[in-house]
Amino acid sequence: MKIIEGKQNIISGYSSYLQDESKLSYGNVEYLAFPENDKDISEFLKFASSKNIPVTISNGKTGVVGGAVPLKGALISLEKLNKIFGIKNVDNEYRVHLQSGVVLSDLFAYSENESFASEKYFYPVDVTETTAHVGGTVSTNASGERSFKYGPTRNWVRALKVILSDGNILNIERNKIFAKNYIMDIKLPNGNIKTIDIPKYKMPSTKNAAGYYAKENMDLIDLFIGSEGTLAVITELELALIKKPKNVMSLLSFFNTEKDAFNFFFSAVKELKTAVVFEYFDNGAFELLTPKIAGLPKDRKFAIFFETEFTDNTINDITSNIEKLLNKNNSTMDDTWGGFAKKDMEKIREIRYKIPETINETIAKRKQKYPDIHKISADIAVPPDKFTEMISYYKSKLEPLKFQYTIFGHIGENHLHMNIIPNDHEEFIKAKELHLDFAKKAVSLGGTVSAEHGIGKIKHQYLEVMYGKNGIQEMIAIKKILDPKLILNRGDVFPEEYLK
Q: Given the rule CB under 6 A, which residues bind ligand FAD?
A: 20-21, 57-64, 67-68, 78, 100, 127-129, 132-133, 135-137, 139-140, 142-144, 228-229, 233-234, 356-357, 452-453, 489, 492
In the complex, the smallest distance separating the C-beta of residue 488 from ligand FAD, rounded to whole angstroms, is 8
CA gap 303, 282 in Å, rounded: 7
In the complex, the smallest distance separating the C-beta of residue 477 from ligand FAD, rounded to whole angstroms, is 20
Nearer to ligand FAD, 325 or 472 (CB): 472
Nearer to ligand FAD, 300 or 410 (CB): 410
In the complex, the smallest distance separating the C-beta of residue 439 from ligand FAD, rounded to whole angstroms, is 18
CA 43 to chain centre: 30
Nearer to ligand FAD, 95 or 453 (CB): 453
In the complex, the smallest distance separating the C-beta of residue 198 from ligand FAD, rounded to whole angstroms, is 20
In the complex, the smallest distance separating the C-beta of residue 256 from ligand FAD, rounded to whole angstroms, is 28
CA gap 242, 286 in Å, rounded: 34
Other C-beta atoms lying within 10 Å of the C-beta of residue 401: 12
Task: Pick the closest to residue 447 from 482, 410, 415, 485 (CA basis).
Answer: 415
In the complex, the smallest distance separating the C-beta of residue 463 from ligand FAD, rounded to whole angstroms, is 14
In the complex, the smallest distance separating the C-beta of residue 457 from ligand FAD, rounded to whole angstroms, is 9
List of E strands, 367-420: 376-378, 405-410, 415-420
CA distances (Å), origin 108, targets 12, 114, 204, 342, 354: 34, 10, 30, 15, 20
Q: Could you tell me whether strands 72-77 and 55-58 are parallel, antiparallel, or unpaired per DSSP bridges?
A: parallel
Query: Do 307 and 298 form a contact (C-beta atoms < 8 A)?
Result: no
Task: Pick the closest to residue 462 from 378, 383, 374 (CA basis).
Answer: 378
Nearer to ligand FAD, 44 or 310 (CB): 44
Nearer to ligand FAD, 49 or 58 (CB): 58
CA gap 154, 212 in Å, rounded: 12
CA dihedral over 102, 249, 384, 381, signed as positive or negative: positive
Residues 6+ apart with CB under 8 A from 494: 230, 460, 472, 475, 476, 479
CA 223 to chain centre: 16
In the complex, the smallest distance separating the C-beta of residue 401 from ligand FAD, rounded to whole angstroms, is 26
Nearer to ligand FAD, 356 or 471 (CB): 356
Rounded to a whole number of angstroms, the CA Rg of the chain reads 23
CA gap 396, 459 in Å, rounded: 23
Residue with the CB atom nearest ligand FAD in the bound state: 136
Concatenated DSSP letters of 77-144: E-TT---EEEEEEETTEEEEEEETT-BHHHHHHHHHHS-SSSS-EE-----S-TTSBHHHHHHTT---
In the complex, the smallest distance separating the C-beta of residue 220 from ligand FAD, rounded to whole angstroms, is 15
